[in-house]
Amino acid sequence: MKLAVALLLALAAAPTADLRYFHYERSIAAQAAGQTCAVLDATVFSHAASDLADVRLYSGAQETPYVVRDVAPVSASQAKIALVNAGRRSTRTVFDAAMPAGPYGDIDLAVAGQDFLATVTVFGGSSAADAKTRIGTYTIFDFTRQRLGRSTVLHLPPSTFSYLHFEVNSSLAPGQFMELTMKRAAASEPRFIPVPVSVAWQQKGRDTVAVFSVPPRVPVDRLLFDAPPEPKNFSRDVSIEIAEEPASREQQAQPAAQSGGSLLRLHSERDGQRIDEERVYLDPPRTAYDRATQWTVTVHNGDDMPLRFAALHVLMLQRQLCFEAASGSTYTLRYGDPALDAPRYDYARWFTPQAGAAHADLGPEQTNARWMARPDQRAFTERHPALLWIALVVVVAVLGFVAVRTARQLNTSA
């Protein structure tokens, strides 16, 4: 009973949405009745509260339920799968893998050893005896000695075979294949929109360095490099350092995260086998920070000629705000009231994206002409914590004085 009363009091005390306290607004013109989606850009994220908790949609003064959805998330679920029945068959190394239910795409083979080139033919079926449907032939390689990188990923088309059979045409032994990592196939390709930043390029020794600042709360999901035409083939390690910008001039930037990866481009023919592998993007940790962050992206060129990139594109995954629109109605997206908690709508529970959903554009951001700062409704002690400590010190001092005086009186009377 006490818990229920406490919850009711907490809910009663929670701030409610009020048009006066939204600092920013943007218009949305619905083109037709029914499900309508608008893409949220970096400006919304930078001026709204964390996780878009204060975003509200209005038709006039009426709040309209909505849901925010990612369009084809970048990160896919992965699973490590043991290899079975490994052995040699004539000049080929063979092994099998039992695959979990559901569609999957890329497969990354864990291969021990360096400096190898091999072709892998993959067959699928419903069982070990039935794995005879040819899926494709793929090239894996490790050119560490030539400083041209390594690739052991098989880019399978979306597949649902419950059993895979592999035949490797090379001198690699069965024991060098340890396991595979399966990646779930995305229903569609991810869509990205640009994050407007200014990239400054630097050359530190033989390292190529890009530095840029990202506004607070704006997610960064991909870094896409415009690689130069020369050299035609390259492999470069990349490190990423993210630091939160200080809250004041007296403070220093605080390291927030580090990550890395590699850029690779290899178009060549080796031992009669054609190799076409290109990976010129990185997917950094998907984390947004409450303060602006400074990103330092370092391309380590080693002893090779430094790469001179034409551009670095900072991208965020497309996120859509979807709602049920009335024909001919105009809606207003409002945000910029950090006191609000995230809304909870029934609409978000039964929402199903429709292929034919209408698209709506966000109008330019404007400051709410009626905006006023929300009154501070915190308790007096929360708004003035220093006074609580001062009062505590005074009380301790008074008690100490009384204790000393009482002790002296007792000594005098004795």
User: What local confidence, expressed as pLDDT, does residue 8 receive?
Assistant: 41
Query: What's the whole-number average pLDDT of the chain?
Result: 86
Residue 409 pLDDT > 90, yes or no?
A: no
- What's the rounded mean pLDDT across residues 241-252? 74
Is 414 contained in some domain?
no
Q: Tokens representing 263?
A: 């850029």
Residue 5 has pLDDT above 50, yes or no: no
Query: Do 247 and 308 reside in the same domain of the chain?
Result: yes
pLDDT confidence of residue 329: 85
**Could you tell me if 89 and 63 lie in one domain?**
no
Per-residue pLDDT at 137: 93
What percent of the chain has a predicted confidence (pLDDT) above 90? 59
Q: Is the pLDDT of residue 245 over 70?
A: yes
Per residue in 254-273, pLDDT (tens digit) is 677 788 899 999 888 877 77
Does the pTM exceed 0.85?
no
Same domain, 215 and 279: yes
Q: Which residue has the higher pLDDT, 104 or 246?
A: 104
In a domain, 153, yes or no: yes
**What pLDDT was estimated at residue 199?**
96
Do 126 and 197 lie in one domain? The reply is no
pLDDT at 378: 54
pLDDT of residue 386: 66
pLDDT at 183 (0 to 100)? 84
Residues 41, 148: one domain?
no
Domain boundary among 140, 157, 184: 184
pLDDT digits (tens, 9 = 90+) for 105-156: 899 999 999 899 999 999 999 988 888 999 999 999 998 888 788 899 999 9
Lowest-pLDDT choice from 4-13, 95-104, 196-205? 4-13
Residues 92 and 157 reside in one and the same domain = yes
Q: Check residues 249 and 271 and name the one with the higher pLDDT.
A: 271
Bridge partners (DSSP) of residue 396 are none
Identify the CATH number of the domain in which residue 281 sits: 2.60.120
Degrees to nearest 5, angle at CA 39 with 34 and 43:
140
pLDDT of residue 45: 96
Number of domains in the chain: 4
308 and 197 within one domain: yes
pLDDT exceeds 60 at position 94: yes
> What pLDDT is attached to residue 272?
73
Domain that residue 326 falls in: 15-70+319-367
pLDDT band for 12, please (50, 70, 90 cuts).
very low
Q: Note whether residue 57 is domain-resident.
A: yes
pLDDT higher at 236 or 285: 236
Same domain, 210 and 292: yes
pLDDT of residue 73: 64
With a cut of 60, say whether residue 25 has pLDDT above it: yes
- 11 pLDDT tier (thresholds 50, 70, 90): very low
In tens, the pLDDT along 213-235 reads 999 999 999 999 999 998 989 99
What pLDDT does residue 314 have? Answer: 97
Q: Which percentage of the chain shows pLDDT scores above 70?
A: 86
Tell whether 372 is covered by a domain: no
The reported pLDDT for the residue numbered 376 is 67
Domain assignment of residue 4, yes or no: no
> Angle CA(293)–CA(295)–CA(299) in degrees, nearest 5?
175
pLDDT at 1 over 80: no
pLDDT for 6 beyond 70 = no
Per-residue model confidence (pLDDT) at position 77: 66
Domain check: are 160 and 273 in the same one?
no
